[in-house]
Amino acid sequence: MQPEASSPDISRRLQRLERRLEILGKICRHDLPNRLVAIRGLVNLLSEESDKLGSEGQEYARRLSAAAERALDLMQTIKTLLAVDAIADKPEEIDMPDLARELARETKQLLPQPDVEYQFSFTVRKVHGIRRSLHKVMGELLRHGLGEGRAKAFVEIGSRNTEQGDEITLTIAPNRIALDPRLAASQKDTTMENRLELLVARELVESWGGALHYVEFPGKGIGYVLLIPGCQR
């Protein structure tokens, strides 16, 4: 049995952790993004000469481009995670139909495929929260759900008031089918631990005092339940 750490020991450990996080933040903000941008520039040059690469060379260039874009996206995700506690925006009234349409446009630009059909089911149009953070969370959830190689997808976004606060649901299925993630939201969110985007989304939601649940419907689709507590009002 190990002895309990003393207050000075805990303080030193926290200071070392803060220094390491600061170093990681600098790497993610400057060094790695600059290198990845250089790689993307090289890929663009190769694309201009694609006719000289042959089919195999073009495929490798495509893979390199996708890897660079994915790495840049991960860097942005890590920066968001490191800045979770620094987001000091005040809760505001958020128009859900407006936010949903904005997310649909942005997702279409980032992910031309799959072909997505949206349905909005807002019992209440307005929810209360930090719009910038909610936009980030729902964008990550949409990209996670749609980035699974689907050819077509049906996305439903809804919101309602509950005794605990404002509740937002998001479901993604290969076709038009009714899924209610609230029915299974109590299951263990094991997939959360395996995807960086979902971990960031959960950290953002929990920084508000809220909760995020991920639900799988085998053979049908996936869903999320996002709760914004009443104290955000």
Domain boundaries, the chain: 7-82, 92-232
- The strand pair at 211-217 and 165-173 is best described as unpaired
Q: In this predicted structure, what is the pLDDT of residue 36?
A: 77
The rounded distance, in Å, linking the Cα atoms of 170 and 222 is 9
**With bands split at pLDDT 50, 70 and 90, how would you rate the model's confidence at 180?**
confident
Which DSSP category does 49 fall into? T
Higher pLDDT, 220 or 9: 220
Residue 233 has pLDDT above 80, yes or no: no
- The strand pair at 115-122 and 152-161 is best described as parallel
Task: Answer for the pair 171, 223: CB distance below 8 angstroms, yes or no.
Answer: yes
Indicate the pTM of the whole model.
Answer: 0.68
The rounded distance, in Å, linking the Cα atoms of 183 and 123 is 18
The rounded distance, in Å, linking the Cα atoms of 145 and 15 is 37
Higher pLDDT, 221 or 177: 221
Q: What are the tens digits of pLDDT across the range 111-137? A: 777 788 999 999 999 998 888 889 988
Which DSSP category does 29 fall into? I
Q: What are the tens digits of pLDDT across the range 220-231? A: 888 899 998 865
Q: In this predicted structure, what is the pLDDT of residue 190?
A: 52
Q: What are the tens digits of pLDDT across the range 12-28? A: 777 877 777 677 777 77
Question: 92-232 in CATH: which number?
Answer: 3.30.565.10
**Prior bond of 229 cis (ω within 30°):** no
**With bands split at pLDDT 50, 70 and 90, how would you rate the model's confidence at 87?**
low
Q: What letter represents residue 189's amino acid?
A: D
**With bands split at pLDDT 50, 70 and 90, how would you rate the model's confidence at 73?**
confident
